[in-house]
Structure 1
Amino acid sequence: MNFNGKSILITGGTGSFGHAFVERILNEWPDVERLVIYSRDEQKQYEMEQLYPHQKYPMIRFFIGDVRDYNRLRRALNGIDYVIHAAAMKHVHIAEYNPDECVKTNIGGAENLVRACLEANVKKVVALSTDKAAAPINLYGATKLVSDKLFIAANNIRGKNPITFSVVRYGNVMGSNGSVIPFFIKKRNEGVLPITNEHMTRFTITLEDGVDMVLHALEHAWGGELFVPKIPSYRIMDVAEAIGPECEKKVIGLRPGEKIHEEMITSSDSFYTYDLGDYYSILPSQHMWDLDEYIDHFNARKVDLGFRYNSGENDEWVTVEEIRKLIKDHVDPNFSV
């Protein structure tokens, strides 16, 4: 897919994903027409603008706005070809304490974006989901599940508009803001690493692989798919050992809304899930295209009935040494133990 001459908007664009996505686009498609960074944090926009001064990067536009504000969002979408929706309230315990704020951003913001993209004649929309949206037990996961459903169902109301909406769902992004690895790196200087539960597991993906997945969806989505990557899991105790082998591992108990294991595909999803090779695709129960053509085009294979994709039952695990190498390669090049 060629983004030269095209215009892209990223909601929540000052976050970890936004930084990685912008870097990739500029490296591979330096003649992109516009890259609009849409977010509500002026400090983060100011800091990102120092990395991409207008004189050198005239294609990058910084647009202060909230996905809760439909009118502002609609204005920002003028002339935009592709939209990546990364804006969200994502901290589980904060969402539990502030549920109405989480609902306004994650659900109301998704509704606004769907409406605005339909009216602005955007070509393709890819929304970022989370493993916590599968069989959710916390508010954050529940709001992201609703958001996923809104984007998928948007394909049913587009009429003759050729726009497509799709979703990508993946696990914890290694080194992203607020994630466990930078938290442990910071805490190890105190000699104690807090562990909520010693049996905990999580899926893990690098920022670069997350960007690959979004680009894949932009190029290959037919509309309504929810893409899930085949990625490894880690054990939280292995992460703690990789970062602070000499530290005390202190079990402090689960935080509100926290799971022991995460799931990206539930057994109920298996009715609609297909193996595409590097990814799984959960197809919508109602789609606007021919299923047999889709299967033939992607050489897709339906998963077994009852199949589920759970971080605690994964076939692929990263070891302590592999975690250390991933941290050095993708989080902190100066990392050592």
Structure 2
Amino acid sequence: MKELKSILVTGGTGSFGKQFIRRILNDYPSMERIVIFSRDELKQFEMANMPEFKKHESKLRFFIGNVRDGERLKRACEGVDAIIHAAALKQVPAAEYNPMECIKTNVFGAENVVNAALDCGVKKVVALSTDKAAAPINLYGATKLCSDKLIVAANNMKGSREVDFSVVRYGNVMGSRGSVIPFFMKRASQGNLPITDTDMTRFNITLDQGVDMVLYALENAWGGEIFVPKIPSYKILDVANAIAPNAEKPVIGIRPGEKLHEEMITETDSFSTLDCGKYYVILPSVLTWSVDDYLKHFDAKYVDKGFKYNSGTNTDWVTIEELRELIKTHVDPSFKVIE
């Protein structure tokens, strides 16, 4: 990180973008310039005027733009050392109804990020992925799988350029907009929490853990890796019971394009997956460096043949009491159980 003096974050006004920029400002004072690249001028205005960002205004640059616009993205990347690619269309139902809009942003947008990095002398690119890119069953997941492939394959076309591209893959962030915990908290006062399936599970990751992963990739990626965190799972029914144990919990069925369990590493991926201690790493299909050197450097080892990383078969689980503490810490400090 010390050699990086400027960084650009696509989707920089989102939940991840703001938290990532907070960490950079607080932990890396040598960072000279941070470019916030996003579509919404109101969100940029509001972010620029938040006291925690206002006091660093000499370092911040706000660029209105869309990752679909390759020329605008290149202009924003001039003089940038690293790109964090967090911009995406993420709503599964909206993607199914508007498929080409999702493809234009998530696939063509990733291609534009790659081209901007190659043309502007960027040194590091880290793209955010999702569990839905592993064996995708909906269009959003399919576009993110394509995005991952584009980012990873960019390492094969960089030539003599000193740039590394890598991907960070994780599931829904705890308390993020549209996720189950805020939804249940809003519905709790009605005494009715609809459950899609009593067996449904999800991985649990906090926003700070997501930021930690991206920072790790920035500092340690050799190029082409997909980094996957080792994190606990929770049962959707346990989330409901943590928030409102006495509420009615009617089962409404799984929605189209939704999985019963989250999956981040498939059984097929096991042949190219390393256990690196804190994280798993899925290796690129075309290597530009020595795996033996990588294994030694990170004290890593291959996972067992047939290994898969699934929220339903995970060995680490969050209890109801732990969920309540996590909600207080990461979602709403004033949270109280609805009896």
Residue 246 of structure 1 deviates from its aligned partner by 2.6
Residue 250 of structure 1 deviates from its aligned partner by 2.1
Structure 1 regions of 5+ residues with no counterpart? none
RMSD of aligned Cα (Å): 1.2
Say whether residues 1:320 and 2:333 are aligned partners.
no
Say whether residues 1:6 and 2:5 are aligned partners.
yes
Residue 189 of structure 1 deviates from its aligned partner by 2.1
Deviations 1:41-83 (A, max 9, x none): 1222122112155564311111111000111101000111111
Cα distance in 2, alignment partners of residues 53 and 331 from structure 1: 21
Say whether residues 1:334 and 2:315 are aligned partners.
no
Partner of 1:39: 38
User: Is the Cα–Cα contact under 8 Å of residues 276 and 301 in structure 2 kept in the other structure?
Assistant: yes
Moved over 2 A (4+): 52-57
Cα distance in 2, alignment partners of residues 175 and 44 from structure 1: 19
Partner of 2:84: 84
Deviations 1:212-256 (A, max 9, x none): 000000000000000001000010000111112232112222222
Partner of 1:218: 218
State the secondary structure of the residue aligned to 2:295: helix
Alignment of 1:177-192 (within 5 A): 177-192=177-192
Partner of 2:28: 29
Cα distance in 2, alignment partners of residues 245 and 47 from structure 1: 37
Between 321-330 and 179-188, report the one with greater CA deviation: 179-188
Cα distance in 2, alignment partners of residues 105 and 125 from structure 1: 17
Partner of 1:272: 272
Give TM-score scaled by structure 1 length: 0.97
State the secondary structure of the residue aligned to 2:193: strand
Say whether residues 1:245 and 2:277 are aligned partners.
no
State the secondary structure of the residue aligned to 1:205: coil
Deviations 1:164-196 (A, max 9, x none): 000010111111122111111112122211222
Partner of 1:140: 140
Deviations 1:308-334 (A, max 9, x none): 000100000001110110111111111
Give TM-score scaled by structure 2 length: 0.96
Deviations 1:64-120 (A, max 9, x none): 110001111010001111110000111111111111111111101001110111001
Between 237-246 and 223-232, report the one with greater CA deviation: 237-246
User: Is the Cα–Cα contact under 8 Å of residues 40 and 64 in structure 1 kept in the other structure?
Assistant: yes
State the secondary structure of the residue aligned to 1:195: coil
Alignment of 1:53-68 (within 5 A): 54=54, 56-68=56-68
Cα distance in 2, alignment partners of residues 97 and 324 from structure 1: 35
Alignment of 1:185-204 (within 5 A): 185-204=185-204
Residue 37 of structure 1 deviates from its aligned partner by 0.9
Residue 198 of structure 1 deviates from its aligned partner by 1.7
Partner of 2:93: 93
Deviations 1:252-299 (A, max 9, x none): 222220010111000110110000000000001211111111111111
Partner of 2:168: 168
Between 185-194 and 147-156, report the one with greater CA deviation: 185-194
User: Is the Cα–Cα contact under 8 Å of residues 96 and 256 in structure 1 kept in the other structure?
Assistant: no
Partner of 2:205: 205
User: Is the Cα–Cα contact under 8 Å of residues 93 and 255 in structure 1 kept in the other structure?
Assistant: no
Say whether residues 1:116 and 2:116 are aligned partners.
yes
State the secondary structure of the residue aligned to 1:322: helix
User: Is the Cα–Cα contact under 8 Å of residues 271 and 305 in structure 1 kept in the other structure?
Assistant: yes
Between 68-77 and 183-192, report the one with greater CA deviation: 183-192
Residue 200 of structure 1 deviates from its aligned partner by 0.7
Cα distance in 2, alignment partners of residues 200 and 12 from structure 1: 30
Cα distance in 2, alignment partners of residues 55 and 130 from structure 1: 33
Structure 2 regions of 5+ residues with no counterpart? none
User: Is the Cα–Cα contact under 8 Å of residues 74 and 116 in structure 2 kept in the other structure?
Assistant: yes
Residue 2 of structure 1 deviates from its aligned partner by 2.7
Cα distance in 1, alignment partners of residues 263 and 173 from structure 2: 15
Partner of 2:73: 73
State the secondary structure of the residue aligned to 1:172: coil
Cα distance in 2, alignment partners of residues 45 and 193 from structure 1: 35
